Amino acid sequence: MSNTGDDLTIGLAGLGAQGIAYAHRFGRFDHTYIGADFDSSARAEFENVVGGAVTENPKDLLEYDLDGLIIALPPKFHEPIATAALESGVDVLIEKPVAHTLHSARRIENAADESDANAMVGFYTKFYKSSSILLGYVADGYFGDVTHVDAVIERRRGLPGRGTWFTSQDIAGGGALIDIGIHALDLVMAIYDYSPIEWTWGQTTTQFGNKDDYLYLETTSEHKDTDLFDVEDAASVVIEFANGGTVNLRVAWATNNRERHEYRIHGTDRGARLDLTQVYTATVGREETDIVQEDDITDREILELYDVRSIGENHFVDSRVVAKGVDAYERQLSAFFDGIGSRTPYEKNSIRHGVKVQEVVDSIYRSASKGEPVPTDSFDDIDRR
Amino acid sequence: MNEAPTSERAARTIKATRVSLTILEELKTRDGATLSELATDLSPSKSTLHCHLGTLLDEGYVIKENGEYVLSLKSLDLGGYACERKNGYKSGQENVDKLARQTHQPVQFVVAENGWASYLYQKAERVHEVPTRVGFTTHLHCTAAGKAILANLSEETVRKIVAERGLPAYTDRTITTRDELFDELESIRSDDIAFDVSERWDGIQCVAKPVRTADGEILGSISISAQREMVTEEQFKETYPAKLANSASVISINASYESIYPD
């Protein structure tokens, strides 16, 4: 825990499930917090959890002398508040995705470029200790060159509130892919060090979302009785990087199968398997964003390393990483608070990386609507628009 | 001031303003007119009308084209502003455009003001086939869009609107009694969708979904209207209602966040 003693003033725009997940961790830092949401019951919950001041319009947070602003609004509404904050020199932590569209994400990036202040993106998956250890091994060259990553995030019944903004193309910018698949995209892109991509291919489907007989098992998400559902609930993705490395990604909000959240890393020398399934299922019925008690990561996060050796005889070695567990959300907050006022871009989850991930999301959706792979050249078309 | 009885309010009005506004309305209805033409239809003397027209020309609300007085685009500026100040307008516009593209049918976003239905925005592929334009104002009881709004107002408010505006028949299918109207509104409330078949225009049927704020307050309604032979039963009863429901929810969420944007 850091920043003990320096009392920062932190705004929290958006007090829905995501915002409240941050709010639950606020007490672990000695800062002053102000929350904003148009919804009065959300404001009441924030007051209950944090005891801080509240205001209705997130825009009004900028009238306080903020040091940092956390933006946990629906993606379509990130841009107006993020750009206003950056223009007034306030560092921001933006919940993923950066925005509902690539254009909107780029405008936030531009505002960050023109400001002294910095923007960080809430890809908290990278703040699990096992993810961080894995990336350390990759950077250290332990696997040789990474040639392929097989990634999957499949929930059994994980549709986030049908009939809320989560299932609206207009507000969320997409469905399962942009909501949970984006964590996996960010992690695999980090494994490839955000190196250039040759092409992406994607297919998106809607199997459960618009069905009336979807069984609301194991979920506490809010389900409104409306027909607001025009996004995909599953996606299959293939990516080829310019260095020849590949990625297979499968994402689903709901499947008639077991839950999975797993990454298999294939290297020229060694391999690894990161399994975060238990992080979600251990809190089934609750979100990953709920507070995780500190425990050994072997209980919840599995990181295995695969080697082949010829010491004595030729044999395989499967080893398991053991480390003290962490609360990824708290670590992300801590990194954000630490960087406030530093005027140097965030190393982890910078806005630049966030926008690169958003470029890939955009290309996957374009590929899915065209029915063919999309080359990276087309990223530049959008870039210049 | 709104509570002032009509007679008292009338006593405080300025007749000259009324004459100017009547001239503007008349120029719209007649699609432009000469001074003599106006003088035959309106009661003030020719010289009074001439003074009014001079003022309106001076202020830029009227221009002269081919010897006739016509409305200028200055009223468009006022109208554009009056539209944009309505909560949900921008998202309503986007969703109307999207639905028109998807369904190839005329789509409108309608709000109620002063007991009238106002067409805040509309989109149609074949504009000349549509009897309405942006700003078109009509009774609320005779279209799906209007009824969808009435169904979300209190009974007292509906009674007041009916008393003030009446229930005139536009076709032989228009609802013309208060009892019939209240039955209809009850059924709209239970299904949360409104229909009309040739109630306002013969041969045109509409389906409308109310648009409410997060707090349940009525903002307006979004509707698809179609010539009867251009739409199937399935589209009218299932496909369009589902699409409208989606749009209504999207407009509602956007309306909640409208004030987050810079002024």
In a domain, A205, yes or no: yes
In a domain, A339, yes or no: no
**What's the rounded Cα separation, in Å, for the pair B72 and B63?**
6
Select from A77, A93, A125 the last residue of a domain. A125
CB-nearest to B245 from A38, A39, A227 is: A227
Nearest to A206 by CA among A180, A181, A229: A229
A67 and A139 assigned to the same domain: no
A69 and A105 assigned to the same domain: yes
A56 and A158 assigned to the same domain: no
A385 pLDDT more than 50: no
Instruction: Tell me what pLDDT residue A240 has.
Output: 97
A162 and A118 assigned to the same domain: no
**DSSP for residue A378:** H
Instruction: Tell me what pLDDT residue B12 has.
Output: 78
Q: In this predicted model, what pLDDT tens digit does every residue of B75-88 receive, in sequence order?
A: 999 999 999 999 99
Instruction: Tell me what pLDDT residue B9 has.
Output: 61
Task: Read off the pLDDT of each residue in A312-316 and give the average, rounded to a whole number.
Answer: 97
In a domain, A351, yes or no: no
**What's the rounded Cα separation, in Å, for the pair A285 and A217?**
8
A39 and A62 assigned to the same domain: yes
Q: Does B214 touch chain A (CB under 8 A)?
A: yes
Buried b (16+ CB within 10 A) or exposed e, B28-46: eeeebbeeeebbeebebee
Select from A125, A149, A178 the last residue of a domain. A125
In a domain, A342, yes or no: no
H-state helical runs in A192-327 = 277-281, 297-300
Task: For residue A264, give Cα distances in angstroms to A131, A223, A258, A367, B112.
Answer: 12, 34, 17, 24, 58
Nearest to A160 by CA among A333, A329, A16, A13: A16
First to last CA, chain A: 43
Task: Read off the pLDDT of each residue in A152-160 and give the average, rounded to a whole number.
Answer: 87
Q: Does B216 touch chain A (CB under 8 A)?
A: no
CB-nearest to B249 from A59, A77, A168 is: A168
CB-nearest to B253 from A59, A168, A229 is: A168
CB-nearest to A228 from B214, B249, B261 is: B249
In a domain, A352, yes or no: no
pLDDT in tens, chain B (263 residues): 344 445 556 667 899 999 999 999 999 999 999 999 999 989 999 999 999 999 999 999 999 999 999 999 999 999 999 999 999 999 999 999 999 999 999 999 999 999 999 999 999 998 777 889 999 999 999 999 999 999 999 999 999 999 999 999 999 999 999 999 999 999 999 999 999 999 999 999 999 999 999 889 999 999 999 999 999 999 999 999 999 999 999 999 999 999 999 88
At a CB cut-off of 8 Å and minimum separation 6, what does B62 contact?
B23, B24, B27, B53, B56, B69, B70, B71, B72
Q: Does B11 touch chain A (CB under 8 A)?
A: no
Cα nearest neighbour of B240 on chain A = A227
CB A100 within 8 A of CB A127: no
Long-range contacts of B129-132 (CB under 8 A, 24+ apart): B129/B227, B130/B106, B130/B225, B131/B201, B131/B204, B132/B108
Residues of B in contact with A165 (CB under 8 A): 253
A284 pLDDT more than 50: no
Domains and CATH numbers, chain B: 6-72 (1.10.10.10), 79-260 (3.30.450.40)
Nearest to A234 by CA among A202, A279, A261, A189: A202
* Domain assignment of residue A189, given as a range: 126-331+359-384
H-state helical runs in A94-252 = 102-113, 129-139, 169-172, 176, 182-191
Interface residues on A facing B, Cβ-Cβ cutoff 8 A = 38-39, 57-59, 73-74, 76-77, 80-81, 84, 163, 165, 168, 170-171, 226-230
Q: How far off is chain A from B255, nearest CA to CA, in Å?
A: 11
Domain containing residue A160: CATH number = 3.30.360.10
Domain containing residue A105: CATH number = 3.40.50.720
What is the tally of structural domains in chain A? 2
A151 and A249 assigned to the same domain: yes
Residues of A in contact with B95 (CB under 8 A): 170
A144 and A58 assigned to the same domain: no
Task: Read off the pLDDT of each residue in A326-349 and give the average, rounded to a whole number.
Answer: 92
A135 and A169 assigned to the same domain: yes
Q: In this predicted model, what pLDDT tens digit does every residue of A84-118 receive, in sequence order?
A: 999 999 999 999 999 999 999 999 999 999 999 99
A376 pLDDT more than 80: no
A167 and A39 assigned to the same domain: no
A116 and A145 assigned to the same domain: no
Select from A74, A109, A125 the last residue of a domain. A125
DSSP string for residues in B12-35: TS-HHHHHHHHHHHHHHHTTSB-H
**What's the rounded Cα separation, in Å, for the pair A159 and A179?**
10
A218 and A275 assigned to the same domain: yes
In a domain, A98, yes or no: yes
In a domain, A1, yes or no: no
3 state DSSP class of B148:
helix
Instruction: Tell me what pLDDT residue A218 has.
Output: 44
Residue A375 pairs in a beta bridge with A199
Q: B229: buried, middle or exposed (CB in 10 Å: 19+, 13-18, 0-12)? A: exposed
Q: Do A168 and B262 touch (CB under 8 A)?
A: no
A53 and A106 assigned to the same domain: yes
A220 pLDDT more than 70: no
In a domain, A337, yes or no: no
